[in-house]
């Protein structure tokens, strides 16, 4: 066999199946909350509203990465290697939103 790669992995919890379904219902519930909130807040103009949706997105991401992608059960070193670089994204978001605001001003100055 050419593929005799050694299999190293962290242990899967014994109740994985129930965890999967629990995560499914959580994701479904959060998506429904997203949609309901969208209509409830339809006439609201506010920055906090965007943050509500972003936070709900991050919570869903936590469950997908943690349970579905098994990250919760991996070694901490692997988790930090993958998750920490995403901090740069937060930095990038902040910079580009500031830049977007300036572009907005310039657009209406002309």
**Which residues of the chain form contacts with another protein (CB under 8 A)?**
1, 3-12, 16-17, 20-21, 23-24, 27-28, 31, 34-35, 38-39, 42-43, 45, 50, 53-54, 56-57, 60-61, 64-65, 67-70, 74-75, 77-78, 81-82, 85-86, 88-89, 92-93, 96-97, 99-101, 103-104, 107
DSSP 43-72: T---HHHHHHHHHHHHHHHHHIIIIIT-GG
Coil, strand or helix: which one is 75?
A: coil
Residues 37, 52 contacting (CB under 8 angstroms): yes
Distance, CA of 11 to CA of 18 (rounded, Å): 16
Residues 10, 74 contacting (CB under 8 angstroms): yes
- Report which of 74, 73, 77, 76 is spatially closest to residue 14, judged by C-alpha positions: 73
């Amino acid at each position: 066999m050419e593929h005799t790669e050694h299999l190293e992995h962290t242990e899967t919890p014994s109740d994985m199946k129930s965890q999967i379904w629990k995560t499914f219902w959580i994701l479904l519930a959060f998506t429904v909350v997203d949609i309901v909130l969208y209509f409830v807040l339809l006439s609201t103009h506010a920055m906090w509203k965007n943050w509500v949706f972003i936070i709900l997105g991050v919570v869903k991401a936590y469950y997908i990465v943690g349970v579905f992608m098994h990250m919760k059960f991996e070694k901490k070193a692997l988790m930090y290697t993958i998750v920490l670089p995403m901090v740069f994204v937060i930095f990038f978001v902040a910079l580009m939103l500031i830049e977007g605001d300036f572009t907005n001003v310039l657009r209406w100055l002309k």
